[in-house]
Every structure is written in structure tokens, then in C-alpha cells.
A and B are shown apart, each in its own frame.
Chain A
Amino acid sequence: MSEIKLMKGNEAIAEAAILAGCDAYFGYPITPQSEVIEYLMVERPEDRTGMIVLQAESEIAAIHMVYGAAGAGKKVMTSSSSPGISLKQEGISYIAAAELPCLIVNVVRGGPGLGTIQPSQADYFQSTKGGGHGDYRLIVLAPASVQEMADFVEDSFKLAFKYRTPVMILSDGVIGQMMEKVIMPEQMPRLTDDEILERYGDWANTGKTKLRERNIITSLNLDSNVQEAHNIKLQAKYSQIEENEVRYEAINCNDAEYIIVAYGSSARVAQKSMAMARAKGIKVGIFRLISLFPFPKKEINALADRVKGFLAVEMSAGQMIEDVRLAVNGKVPAEHYGRYGGVIHSPEEVLASLENKIIGG
């Protein structure tokens, strides 16, 4: 087993990327995720694995560098925080349309606009419902610890290549900035050009067209019938993802009368609220979302048959609550609670809201 380290979430992502055999990182600094590129610059992965780290001239340039490198069958990533992710949306839509794998990390801060640099979860809609234009989805994973920041990197790359689609790690300022114990995975080798040709030669632009038809990577189809067929294909892929890739952690849900649905740092805060509630004899469980898309609809719907109510806790004015309500489908009350704009709710506030809105309500 490799040794236990004390690291920030942002640093853990960066180290895990090197260890995952990532070929290139293109990014641009922004608080609260700057430690990702900072760590990579200091660590010089080009000396360790040959991984390229490049600070682009802007977020828009960075995401299009990712587009290009992904098109070559490379394992590539970028990271940013909310306003920077907004800038990347055009590129993300293109990458989704062109069916290319990549990893995008969003360490969310309070918005809208330039907002604040403090933690927030108000990019849920942007991440799970589109963000860029057109009918596309990202696979979105939400880590709730520094260990998961590290673990989800390789997971995300696997999903990205399995479905040839961009995967987002949706974190926030708390998980990015905090330090916890973390155990890093083993170093995986980067793929050689021959391996890339062998595995991804049917779609990647490897520059080696001998013995095969050229691959064309584009998001442009001027014939609307062709474009509709392409959309149908994308939708089939998203259905398959919804069928196979739902991830969550059910904490004390078996005997629970009330469920708090939360992800990321809110799920951590809520676990303290749960402990406080249980000390008072209130049977609370946490349904922690790990995949935000695909959303665990069936699982929450099934829980709604045997609990008295749901509280969706998120650092936003109410975004995830919409998906929770769709899943609960009116069977029992489902309400929202959250501080936002960079304010983190306290465990006491979450418990008070549960008591007022769900138990008393």
C-alpha cells in the first residue's frame, strides 16, 4: 500500500492525474482551483511521465487544446472554477458533439458573474443540464473528500473513454482547499502511440492513415437528417449511461424516516447534522449523490415509498431539488435548504431546516 499523505483536494487531483497516465493538462489559473496547475508546474510531470502541462492564454484556448488533444486519442484534462468553466462551455459542447473523451474539473465558487471565490454548488444546472448549447450531457461526478478527488480522476478517464464523452468532476471550494489524508493509486503508464492506434484507431486522429480510412472529427453536420441521426445516437449513449453508471452512497438510510439528499461538501456538513439528529432520536439518513448525471432517480423514487420526507441540501438557491422532486414524484414532501453566494451552511442550520420544513411541516 502506498503511504498516507496530507494533501489539498486540488493537489490530490493534480497528483492523481499524473499517476493516471494523463497525457496533457491545459488550464488557466483561477481561485479556488489554482493549486491544480500550481502543483503540476512545481511537480514537473514531464520529467516523471512525459505528461505535458501548459498554461494557456485563456480558458477558451485551454478547452480547445483539450479538444484537439482528445481528438488525437490522448488522455487529457483541464480544470477551472465557475466563471472559467462558463468560458469553456462552447468547447465542451463541441467535444460532446464530436464524441471525444476528456476530463473537466470544476472547483465551484459562488456566482453568478465573477461572484466570490468562496465555495458554492450553484453550477449544478450548468453541469448536469447542458451548460453549452445543444442536446448533450456530461457524466458528472461529485467528490466529497480529498480521497475521492484523487480516486475519481482515473474513474473519470475510464468513463470518458468507455463512452467517448467528456466527464466532469464537480467539486467546490471546500473540497478543493481542504487537506485530508489521502492514499494515492499506483503509477499507470501513459499509452504509447502504437497502443493509442490499436485501441482508438477507429476514431482518433493519430496521423497514421496507412491501411485505414481517415477519421474525421467534427461537430458540424449541415444536413439536418444526418444531424438528427447523430443526436439520436448521442441520446442512446446517454440512456446507456443512465442505465449503467448511477453512483451514490446511502448512509443510515435503512431505518431512516427522513432523508437528506446532498453531494460534495454539503453531504459532509449534512453527516454532522445527521449525527446531531440521531442523538435527539430523529432517524435521519443521507443519500449522497456521487453521480449527478446520471441522477439516481429509481433509487430515490424507491426510498420515497418508505420515508416521510426529503430535504435537498445544496449550496445554491435550489437546483438539485428539481431532480429530487422529479424522482420523489410527489409521494412525500421534498424541500430545499441551502446557503449560497459563497456562504456554507452549518450543520445546525441544516438540522433546523429539516425540523422546520420536513418534520414540523
Chain B
Amino acid sequence: MTEEMIIAGFGGQGVLSMGKILAYSGIMQDQEVSWMPSYGPEMRGGTANVTVIVSDERISSPVLTNFDTAIILNQQSMDKFENTVKPGGVLLYDPNGILKHPTRTDIKIYTIDGAKLASEMGNPKIFNMIVLGAFMQVKPIVKLENVIRGLKKSLPERHHKLIPLNEDAITMGMKNVVAK
């Protein structure tokens, strides 16, 4: 199994953290992982993206132009990455703020109302975990228990009390992903 994905959106949405949690979860499952961020003059409100690869084999290029999955969280990223999804691949997006919806017919398209659900749950910060849950429902490459183990490992002890909230957010995402 090799999953090559791009997660793209605004800085501050938790794009890089979501990728990091996926990478940690892969490690928990004894897989090879790579996490390659866009870096540079990015900031809150600017664009941010990260390429994450989770694989059973040694990973060659950490930098890719085509992806099995694109998780897209703003219009700029939709413009940039819709066409980079491999035929038959997955495009998962939050329709909030998307004006031009994806039009490809050779890929599987899913939506998750992440921003709306996060605000309903009373914490906009769990947005990325809702989206992660939606991805895990569509492509169960990482197990929930391994995500939780990954969170425990990556978060400092003082934040461990937030893990149940994150787990709820993931479950919320899993339940609310919609196939287009």
C-alpha cells in the first residue's frame, strides 16, 4: 500500500498538523512516512500545503506532482490541485468558501462541512480533525486507534486532555462525509 496525498488550504487551518498526525499514525502502524510542507513566506491567511506519503515500502520522492488523494480546503488550492489528482483518485473538500466546485468526472469527489461542524461543536480548532475523520472514512489507510496513539506521542502531556475532543471530531467527520 502506498498513499500519496496533498493537503492544501489556508495557513492556520491546521493543514500541516493534519499531515503530521497522519504521518505519526503511519509510524504507529510500522509504515514508512514522509511529510513535505510548502514552506516560505506563508502565514496565517496565506496558502499552506503539505505532501504526505504513507507506504509499506521505502519512499522514493517526497515531492510529487500527482496524488492519490487531495484534501482541499480553499479555492486557491482547488484551482491549483484539482487537476493533480490521479484518475480514479479522491478529492475531498470543504465546500465552505468554494465558489468553483470541482468538475472532473474521472475521480471520486467527497465533501465534508468541516468549518460548519467545527463551529457547531463549539471549537473551530478541531476543524482539521473533522476533515481527517472524513478522509479516514473515505480511505481507511490509518486506524483510529493508531491516530490516537499518534496524537499521544506527538502532543505534549499537558495537551492530552484534548485527545477525547479530537476523537469526537474525527468521529464527527467520519459520519458526515458526503459522496458527490
Contact = CB atoms under 8 A, between A and B. Distances in A.
Given A6-B154, A31-B40, A118-B40, A178 B62 contact: yes
Name the residue among A117, A344, A348 with the largest chain B CB count within 10 angstroms: A344
B96 to A, nearest CB: 28
Contacts of A268: 59-63
26 contacts: A4-B27, A6-B23, A6-B24, A6-B27, A117-B41, A173-B39, A177-B36, A178-B36, A178-B37, A179-B20, A179-B23, A179-B33, A179-B35, A179-B36, A180-B33, A180-B34, A180-B35, A181-B27, A265-B62, A268-B60, A269-B60, A271-B60, A272-B61, A347-B61, A347-B64, A348-B65
Contacts of A168: none
Given A32-B39, A180-B33, A346 B64 contact: yes
A180 B39 CA distance: 16
A177 B60 CA distance: 16
Interface string B43-82: 0000000000000000111111100000000000000000
Given A6-B27, A6-B154, A346 B60 contact: no
A314 to B, nearest CB: 14
Interface in A141-188: 173-174, 177-181
A181 B40 CA distance: 23
A275 B59 CA distance: 11
A174 B20 CA distance: 16
Contacts of A32: 39
Contacts of A118: 40
A319 to B, nearest CB: 20
B35 A178 contact: yes
B63 A346 contact: yes
Nearest to B153: A6
Interface string B1-32: 00000000000000000001001100100001
Contact of A174 (B40, B59, B62, B154): B62
B65 A181 contact: no
Name the residue among A180, A270, A275 with the largest chain B CB count within 10 angstroms: A180
A346 B60 CA distance: 12
Nearest to B37: A177
B103 to A, nearest CB: 24
A178 B35 CA distance: 5
A86 to B, nearest CB: 20
Closest 4 CB pairs of A and B: A271-B60, A272-B61, A179-B35, A272-B60
A180 B37 CA distance: 12
Contacts of B154: 6
Interface of A: 4, 6, 31-32, 117-118, 173-174, 177-181, 265, 268-272, 274-275, 344, 346-348
B167 to A, nearest CB: 20
A269 B35 contact: no
Contacts of A117: 39-41
A271 B62 CA distance: 10
B53 to A, nearest CB: 10
A353 to B, nearest CB: 15
A76 B68 CA distance: 44
Contact of A269 (B24, B32, B37, B63): B63
Contacts of B20: 6, 179
B61 to A, nearest CB: 4
A321 B172 CA distance: 54
Nearest to B63: A344
Given A6-B23, A179-B34, A181-B33, A31 B61 contact: no
B84 to A, nearest CB: 11
B62 A6 contact: no
Contacts of B60: 268-269, 271-272, 274-275, 347
A268 B51 CA distance: 15
Given A178-B34, A346-B63, 6 more contacts: A4-B27, A173-B39, A177-B36, A180-B59, A271-B60, A348-B65
A174 B35 CA distance: 10
B24 A346 contact: no
Contact of B63 (A6, A31, A179, A265): A265
A42 B23 CA distance: 23
B85 to A, nearest CB: 15
B5 to A, nearest CB: 15
B150 to A, nearest CB: 9
A4 B40 CA distance: 28
Contacts of B33: 6, 179-181
Contacts of A174: 36, 62-63
A52 B64 CA distance: 39
Name the residue among B32, B35, B61, B65 with the largest chain A CB count within 10 angstroms: B61
A269 B39 contact: no
Contacts of A274: 60
